[in-house]
């Protein structure tokens, strides 16, 4: 995963409202939520919520599933895990114990 992609994902998650959307979605029945669920829970206009949803959608952190008159959003846990792995990998590369793994192999 390139730095650019990691940064984009981090920025997509870097807003309290968007963290909340993920949480609301997971809390809702079947791990899905619609725009209205979020709009009811937060003091924001519907259009604002829709915008935040779009950011998560573009980042692949949720997917859309049209269901009747409403759209359901499902958290993409694998994508979140992917970022988690990339983050851990970065931490490992940053730790002072193994600066470049160039020496002391034995």
Partner DNA sequence: TTTTTTGATCGTTGATTTACGATAGAAGAT
Partner DNA sequence: ATCTTCTATCGTAAATCAACGATCAAAAAA
Residues found near DNA in the complex (CB under 7 A): 11, 14-15, 17, 34-36, 39, 43-48, 50-55, 64, 66, 68-71
- How far is it, in rounded angstroms, from Cα 11 to Cα 5? 10
**Cβ 68 to DNA shortest distance, Å:** 4
- How far is it, in rounded angstroms, from Cα 31 to Cα 26? 4
Instruction: For residue 56, count other CB atoms closer than 10 A to its CB.
Output: 23
Interacting residues with a copy of itself between 18 and 77 (CB under 8 A): 18-20, 22-23, 26-27, 31, 75, 77
β-sheet bridge partners, residue 103: none
Cβ nearer to a copy of itself, comparing 65 with 106:
65
Cβ nearer to a copy of itself, comparing 69 with 91:
91
Instruction: For residue 10, count other CB atoms closer than 10 A to its CB.
Output: 13
**Cβ 66 to DNA shortest distance, Å:** 7
Is the dihedral angle over the CA atoms 83, 85, 86, 87 positive or is it negative? positive
3-13 and 46-58 helices, crossing angle to 10°: 160
Interacting residues toward a copy of itself by CB under 8 A: 3-4, 6-8, 10-11, 13-16, 18-20, 22-23, 26-27, 31, 75, 77, 80-81, 84, 87-88, 90-91, 93-96, 99-100
């Amino acid at each position: 995963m390139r730095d650019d992609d990691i940064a984009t994902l981090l920025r997509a998650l870097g807003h309290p409202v968007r963290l909340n959307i993920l949480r609301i979605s997971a809390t809702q029945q079947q791990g899905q939520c619609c725009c209205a669920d979020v709009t009811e829970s937060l003091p924001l206009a519907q259009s604002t919520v829709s915008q935040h949803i779009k950011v998560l959608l573009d980042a692949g952190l949720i997917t859309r599933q049209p269901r009747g008159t409403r759209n359901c959003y499902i958290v993409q846990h694998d994508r979140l895990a992917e970022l988690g792995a990339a983050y851990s990998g970065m931490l490992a590369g940053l730790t002072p114990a193994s600066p470049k793994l160039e020496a002391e192999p034995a």
